[in-house]
Structure 1
Amino acid sequence: MKIRLPENNKPRIEMLPLIDVVFLLLVVFIYTMLSMVVHKGMPVSLPESSAVKPEKNTVLSVTINKDNLIFINKEPVDMEHLTHILKQKAKKEKKPDPDVLLFADKSISYQYLFKVLDRIRMAGLNQISLQADPEDQN
């Protein structure tokens, strides 16, 4: 009687589980990248709006906190030097008219906000985007 021994098969990598893992990693990576909003502002309590779109292609960030302190890209600046420093930073950028994100705490006065806006415009920057938090839809 002749006994047949099983053939020795080469080990192989199963592709279906590998594809599932790669797809899962791709989905997680895409989701995390889309959920991150890149800004250089300080943490402030922003006003809410139902039509908020996150800005991602910005160069300069101006933040006004609840104590009326002004920051440019997390560096503190006083009102008198705001225009001069913005002009300097705008010259360093590759774009001729860089975008400015303005993060203003919702507790600051309307008048103070307009003073800062005027200083930004006096620096020759006209692409200003006021930032807000998305409004709860409850």
Structure 2
Amino acid sequence: MARKTNYLGHEEKARIEIIPMIDVMMFLLVFFVLIMIEMIQGAGITLDLPQSSSQDPIESVTLNIGVSVDGGLYVDGQLIDDQQLSSRLTDMKGTGKLDVVIAGDRGSHYESIVHAMDLVRGAGVSAIGLATQK
């Protein structure tokens, strides 16, 4: 191990500076947190999802549709009507494989969720999933 000699003749041992290493680790932590926030997809509204004991994660989700208690349909946090949803699904279906997840609030009517599924199927999308909590 190399030793340095200062101007008074005393030898100093080499040491590892920990502060720059902490800075780099904090930078990496912030980077990964920001990336994960972008990767987590949501309906953009607060929903109280029902629970399920048998759920399978969907690997690639392209579009999330939220169904509120009053039956409103939400895409990217924006209230959307049936015709707008159908045209958006048709446009997205033309770009390639489309997976849709419907997140219905716990208090929403079954009829509203089935209506959303009918709109998705009417646009020619067959890969439909229902969001639940574990």
- TM-score normalised over the length of structure 1: 0.67
Q: How far off its partner does 1:53 sit? A: 4.6
31, 39, 42: which one pairs with 2:41? 39
Partner residue in 2 for 1:88: 91
Label 1:6 to 1:51 Cα distance change in 2 as closer, same or farther (>3 A): farther
Distance 1:52 1:89 in 2: 26
Q: Which runs of 5+ in 2 are unaligned?
A: 1-7
Matched residues, number = 126
- For residues 96-135 of structure 1, the aligned pairs below 5 Å read 96-134=96-134
**1:121 maps to amino acid:** R
Return the offset for 1:123. 0.8
Cα deviation 1:34-88 (Å, max 9, x = unaligned): x867113022111011234554521111110111110122222112432222112
Task: Confirm or deny: 8 A CA contact 1:63 1:70 kept in the other structure.
Answer: yes
- Structure 1 Cα separation of the partners of residues 67 and 91 of structure 2: 20
Q: Percentage identity across aligned positions?
A: 18
Cα separation, 1, equivalents of 2:93 and 2:42: 15
Question: 5 Å matches for 1:20-31?
Answer: none
Q: 1:67-126: CA deviations, max 9, x gaps? A: 1110122222112432222112333x4xx2211111111212222211210110111111
Structure 1 stretches lacking a partner, 5+ long: none
Amino acid at match of 1:103: A
Q: Cα 1:102–1:54, aligned 2, differ >3 Å: closer, same or farther?
A: same
1:40/1:61 contact within 8 Å kept: yes
Residues in 2 aligned to 1:133 and 1:98: alpha-carbon distance in whole angstroms: 23
1:67 alignment partner, one of 67, 70, 75: 70
Following superposition, the deviation at residue 131 of structure 1 comes to: 0.3
What's the offset of the Cα at 1:21?
A: 5.9
- Structure 2 length as normaliser, TM-score? 0.68
Name the aligned partner's letter for residue 132 of structure 1: T
